[in-house]
Chain A
């Protein structure tokens, strides 16, 4: 299994509070991704990174920010959480991103509930 660790695995918080999710990899892969998975919507890309300090928006980026100060860590921040951001969040990594032939590998997810 790819070495991907997401933390926390579960979190319950209140509307309006800031939340940071962490993804840590031991594979030294260049590309990292944050997805959310919701019933009826499937997996949707929030943000991705193609290198240290290099990030870009995905399909559903509003209300989220990311940072990548080291190859191994990719942080997802909800500046002011809303109930619509209740979801399961997955981190993924890849060696080659959208221009290569390497697969994506996923972490086990963070289940986030915003009350």
Chain B
């Protein structure tokens, strides 16, 4: 059974800093991995989806990488801004299964 973990649970950084959020999964035979952000009281917003054949995906200041052999994905946020403050969740998909979500990392970017 796939299990997904995210460390740290919470992170606080000053504005302008580059940062990395981590996502680990136990079953490396994943089909794809998706990163989301969730603002308080809101639903999840899809950020990036990396297919198993890809190593990374980029969208603006965000870059997500995938290393299946080590069971890890990272989300890199460049030049962080207070508006980036949110909870970031990753979700792993094994073929024919459903997404399994990590518990999230709560990010605070301080002005």
Q: Answer whether A and B are interacting partners.
A: yes
- Chain B contact residues (Cβ within 8 angstroms of A): what range? 20 to 34
> Which chain A residues border B49 with CB–CB below 8 Å?
101-103
A90: nearest chain-B partner, CB-CB: B43
Judge whether B26 is part of the interface by a CB distance below 8 angstroms: no
Judge whether A74 is part of the interface by a CB distance below 8 angstroms: no
Judge whether A79 is part of the interface by a CB distance below 8 angstroms: no
Cross-chain contact A98 with B98 (CB below 8 angstroms): yes
> Which chain B residues border A99 with CB–CB below 8 Å?
31, 95-96
Cross-chain contact A98 with B97 (CB below 8 angstroms): yes
How many residues in A have their beta carbons less than 8 Å from beta carbons of B?
Answer: 22
**Can you list 19 A-B pairs, Cβ within 8 angstroms, ordered by A?**
A4-B43, A42-B89, A42-B102, A43-B89, A45-B98, A48-B98, A92-B44, A98-B95, A99-B31, A99-B96, A101-B31, A102-B49, A103-B34, A104-B34, A104-B46, A104-B91, A104-B99, A107-B43, A108-B42
Cross-chain contact B46 with A105 (CB below 8 angstroms): yes
Cross-chain contact A33 with B104 (CB below 8 angstroms): no
Select one of B34, B93, B101 contacting A98, CB under 8 A: B93
- The winner among B32, B91, B99 for most chain A CB atoms within 10 A is B99
The answer for the CA separation of A90 and B99 in the assembled complex, in Å, is 14
Cross-chain contact B98 with A58 (CB below 8 angstroms): yes
Interface residues of B in 15-63 (CB under 8 A from A): 31-32, 34, 36, 41-46, 49, 51
Cross-chain contact B44 with A42 (CB below 8 angstroms): no
Interface residues of A in 44-63 (CB under 8 A from B): 44-45, 48, 58
- Bitwise, B74-104 to A at CB < 8 A (1) or not (0) is 0000000000000001010111111101111
Closest Cβ–Cβ distance, residue B23 to chain A (whole Å): 12
Closest Cβ–Cβ distance, residue A42 to chain B (whole Å): 4
Select one of A4, A42, A97, A107 contacting B101, CB under 8 A: A42
The answer for the CA separation of A81 and B32 in the assembled complex, in Å, is 35
Cross-chain contact A42 with B96 (CB below 8 angstroms): no
A43-B44, A98-B97, A108-B43 given; 13 more Cβ-contact pairs under 8 Å = A33-B98, A42-B102, A90-B44, A97-B98, A98-B94, A98-B96, A99-B31, A101-B32, A101-B49, A103-B46, A103-B49, A106-B43, A106-B46
